[in-house]
Structures are given as structure tokens and as C-alpha cells.
């Protein structure tokens, strides 16, 4: 018999894993410190050991070295055939060619692949790691239409989808009433027809995630995430964005705002002087810090 856990227990497990995960905002470890220092060196910020009366100029050796390495690596990644699938046999050659062409189109053209690769490589050089996420962005657009006194043919035409991946629903009549209305050849001038059109679009997204916003279970030792017990991405979202994504409006409006950044490597990347500066920037858009969790 499989053991079932409730939402409270699952939430407690996720909080525990998040608290001890490497890269978590609750843990200040050697990796977080080294990332913050590397970013400060890259931007030439003061190190804190300056002496009054002496020169305050900061060495830009880190930035010069990183940019020099990037200039040598990136030309090899500008090819339009960056992704190639090897066919399994002679019959698979055409399918492998189509898949290679499609992946190159999605990654390099639709997702600005060259900029993404540049960001990932720079993250590796500065932060000792990089994170890329592949996801499907699903968006639903809802349109509503109202008709009165349609003929039989006009009702059939109104109930037909006008776009691909569109679901058409009649909201003011039950299935039985709709069938009855469609079966009448004589036009009813008072017959109302309310239609809801839901058009679903899906977009494959490949993007670079800032390493400081990614945390992984501290006891995970593999370079692959297939058997990872816990990993998560942290991101900021506004109240309006969350409501648009389908979250309950009352629940979102009752949530307290999270307007301060506490991770020192994230503060270094964003160029913030202190938590108050971050608070002032975030307060305008009423944002929350969310986590996208993968738990096995």
C-alpha cells in the first residue's frame, strides 16, 4: 500500500529540503560567498579594505579575463547547426534531420540561443555553475460572444472554432437545450446564444536561470538531475502575473509582499547596495518570491 501525505506534510518536507539545499537563501555557504565576491570583482566594486588617502581604483582583471575567454569560445557556438541528432539507422536519417533542424530553430532563433549560451558560459566562469531550463509556456486567451436571433446555419457557424487549438463552449444553454435549438429550422428571434472561445497556445522556452536562484539537495552528488531528491528555482512574480496565471485572486491579495533580497550573491548580481534599496525597487510592483519545486 502506498503511503499518502497531505498538503501540510508535503509543505513541511519542502521547507526542510529548501532550508538545507545548496544555494538556498537560508544557507550562506562557501559557494554563495565565492559567487558574490566573483561578481563584485567582475564589476570592479570596492572590496572593503580600501585606505583613505590611497587610490580607490579597482583592478578589472576578472572582467578582462572572462570577456577574453568568451571572445574565444562564442564564435564556435554561432553555427546554425549547433544541435544535431544522429540517426539510428538508414530509415531514421530523415527524421533525425527534421529533429535537428527543429531544435536549432527553437533554441537559436526563437529563444535567442546565442545570447543564452553567452549567459551560461559567463555564469560558469564567474559562478562555477550554470543552469538552463526547458519549459512549455501555456497561455489561454478567452473571448466571449453573444448572439440573438441566429438562424440554424448561423448558429452552426458561430459554434465552429475560428483558430487552431480553440475550444468553443455555449455558456447559457445546456447540451440538451443547445441540440434542441440547433434542430429547429425556423429562426427564433428571441433565442440567445452566449459563446466562450478558449484558445490555447504553447511555446517551448529554453532560458538561462541565474545560478543564485537555483538550489539543489546538499547530498546530491551526480551531474544529472534525474535522480535528484530536491531542486528548485526561485523567481519573482507580481500579483497581477499570478492572478493571470490562474491563481485564486483572494488568496493572492491576502499574501504578504516579499520585498527584500537577502542572498548576498543575488544582491551582487543585481548591483544593490543593501536590502533597503532592493525593497524600494520591488515595492512599486508588489512582488512575491516564488519557488518552482521539483521533488522526487
* Helix residue spans in 128-188 (DSSP H): 152-158, 175-183
Arithmetic mean of pLDDT, 157-168? 92
Question: Could you tell me if 241 and 249 are in contact, meaning their C-beta atoms sit under 8 angstroms apart?
Answer: no
- 0.85 exceeded by pTM: no
C-alpha–C-alpha distance, residues 94 and 88, integer Å: 11
C-alpha–C-alpha distance, residues 120 and 38, integer Å: 15
Name the most confidently modeled range: 24-38, 205-219, 268-282. 205-219
Confidence of residue 161 (pLDDT cuts 50, 70, 90): very high
User: pLDDT tens-digit profile of 133-153?
Assistant: 888 888 888 999 999 988 888
User: pLDDT tens-digit profile of 206-255?
Assistant: 889 888 888 888 888 887 888 888 888 887 777 788 887 778 888 887 87
Q: To the nearest whole percent, how much of the chain has pLDDT over 70?
A: 86
The residue ranking higher by pLDDT, 197 or 213, is 197
pLDDT given for residue 276 in this prediction:
44
Q: What is the CA radius of gyration of the chain?
A: 27
pLDDT given for residue 195 in this prediction:
93
C-alpha–C-alpha distance, residues 229 and 226, integer Å: 9
Arithmetic mean of pLDDT, 99-116? 89
Question: Could you tell me if 234 and 289 are in contact, meaning their C-beta atoms sit under 8 angstroms apart?
Answer: yes
For residue 178, give every residue at least 6 positions away whose Cβ sits within 8 Å of its Cβ, in sequence order, or none: 170
C-alpha–C-alpha distance, residues 266 and 32, integer Å: 9
Q: Among 37-41, 169-173, 196-200, where is mean pLDDT lowest?
A: 37-41
Amino acid at each position: 500500500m502506498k503511503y499518502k501525505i497531505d498538503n501540510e506534510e508535503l509543505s513541511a518536507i519542502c521547507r526542510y529540503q529548501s532550508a538545507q539545499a545548496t544555494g538556498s537563501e537560508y544557507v550562506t555557504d562557501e559557494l554563495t560567498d565565492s559567487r558574490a565576491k566573483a561578481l563584485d570583482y567582475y564589476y570592479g566594486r570596492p572590496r572593503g579594505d580600501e585606505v583613505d588617502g590611497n587610490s580607490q581604483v579597482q583592478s578589472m582583471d576578472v572582467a578582462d579575463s572572462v570577456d577574453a575567454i568568451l571572445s574565444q569560445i562564442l564564435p564556435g557556438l554561432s553555427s546554425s547547426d549547433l544541435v544535431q541528432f544522429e540517426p539510428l539507422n538508414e530509415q531514421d536519417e530523415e527524421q533525425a534531420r527534421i529533429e535537428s533542424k527543429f531544435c536549432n530553430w527553437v533554441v537559436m532563433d526563437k529563444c535567442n540561443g546565442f545570447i543564452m549560451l553567452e549567459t551560461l558560459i559567463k555564469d560558469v566562469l564567474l559562478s562555477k555553475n550554470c543552469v538552463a531550463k526547458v519549459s512549455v509556456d501555456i497561455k489561454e486567451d478567452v473571448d466571449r460572444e453573444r448572439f440573438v436571433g441566429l438562424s440554424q446555419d448561423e448558429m452552426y457557424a458561430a459554434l465552429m472554432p475560428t483558430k487552431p487549438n480553440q475550444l468553443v463552449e455555449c455558456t447559457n444553454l445546456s447540451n440538451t437545450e443547445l441540440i434542441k435549438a440547433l434542430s429547429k429550422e425556423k429562426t427564433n428571434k428571441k433565442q440567445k446564444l452566449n459563446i466562450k472561445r478558449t484558445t490555447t497556445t504553447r511555446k517551448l522556452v529554453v532560458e538561462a536561470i541565474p545560478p543564485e536562484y537555483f538550489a539543489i539537495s546538499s547530498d546530491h552528488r551526480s551531474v544529472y538531475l534525474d535522480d535528484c531528491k530536491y531542486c528548485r528555482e526561485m523567481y519573482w512574480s507580481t500579483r497581477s502575473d499570478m492572478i493571470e496565471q490562474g491563481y485564486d485572486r483572494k488568496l493572492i491579495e491576502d499574501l504578504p509582499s516579499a520585498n527584500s533580497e537577502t542572498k548576498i550573491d543575488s544582491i551582487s548580481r543585481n548591483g544593490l547596495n543593501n536590502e533597503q534599496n532592493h525593497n524600494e525597487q520591488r515595492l512599486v510592483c508588489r512582488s512575491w518570491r516564488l519557488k518552482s519545486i521539483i521533488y522526487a
